[in-house]
Amino acid sequence: MGKNTGWLGMAMLVGLLAGCGGGDGKDTASGKVADVNFLADNAAWREQRKSELLAPDGWTSLVGLHWIELKSHFIGSGPGSGIKLAVGPAKMGMVTQQSGRIFLTPEAGAQLTLNGEPLKGRVELQSDRDPAPGVVGFDEGKGLLTVIERGGRHALRVKYADAESRTQFVGLDYWAPQEAWRIEGRYIPHPPGKTLTIVDVIGVANESPNPAAVEFERDGKTFRLEALGPPEGPLFFLLADRTSGHGSYSAGRFLDAEGPKDGKVLLDFNRAYNPPCAFTPYATCPLPPAENRLDLLVEAGEKAYAKPIKVL
């Protein structure tokens, strides 16, 4: 390994970026050559994005979402299960709900773990709304079962490392990177405690902290996005635009940003990304509010995912 290795790595990152988005290293909005650091940073971000999706417990491993409707359900992959799982032991155990709490009694002989430790008897499963959610492992850790809570209802979420949606992942596609889509916006704080109603794909509405709006300029016009997150902290945006359903994912995209500095927020639309629902039908993604549906063609960031075609 010589001293030129770092330059080689930089070149590989830039090449990767161009391959992902069909870019040629130019900022197509202005015609200028894009900064090499900008290209490398975007390439690194895209690699991290892909790695997180393809992690053994990433969103592409999701194989089931099962609502707990009765007081008790036998669960497992076998034909006699009240909640039939796509994977795992034929008989996993019995799930019981009592006064909004969820319990699991494992089937005798089922090889299960709870948070990495052997599971031997009846336990309460904390949900994703609790400080320490419970994670049930099976099939030597390939499978993970958790409890989620949405609108007062509970469901079992199942992930599996060998899911076809993960093993047959076809990759991400992007618009060519453009520095012109890195836009500095004005941070407009809201009164303390303000919330915004966010509805998810299953119709559940939640009040989310809405500390501010961000206004930005594009094509001589002013646009506005409502931000979610803690005051003065990292910001999160749910947005739709004129590419939604016409190049980008139809239900909108996500965008992260750092908190304000001197009243400004950097919006890098090159890093707009798809919600989990673009990759799996078993997620419960939030939808962009009416305030964040932009009359703007945002040809930047992640395009709609092209799911693999199954050959029968």
Integer angstrom CA distances of residue 148 from 68, 101, 111, 130, 276: 10, 11, 22, 10, 15
Mean pLDDT of 138-143: 97
- The confidence band for 233, taking pLDDT boundaries of 50, 70 and 90, is confident
Decide the pairing of beta strands 123-124 and 62-67.
unpaired
Residue 225 pLDDT greater than 80, yes or no:
yes
Contact at 8 Å (CB) between 49 and 71? no
Lowest mean pLDDT among 28-37, 105-114, 141-150, 216-225: 28-37
Give 211-216's long-range contacts (Cβ < 8 A, gap of 24+).
Answer: 211/235, 212/187, 212/188, 212/260, 213/188, 213/291, 214/185, 214/186, 214/187, 214/188, 214/257, 214/265, 214/267, 215/185, 215/186, 215/188, 216/183, 216/184, 216/185, 216/186, 216/267
Please write the tens of the pLDDT for every residue from 115-124. Answer: 999 999 999 9
Residue 10 has pLDDT above 70, yes or no: no
Residue 306 reports pLDDT greater than 60:
yes
The predicted-structure confidence for 247-286, as pLDDT tens digits, reads as follows 999 999 999 999 999 999 999 999 999 999 999 999 999 9
d(C-alpha 254, C-alpha 267), whole Å: 12
pLDDT band at 32 (very low <50, low <70, confident <90, very high): low
pLDDT exceeds cutoff 90 at 6: no
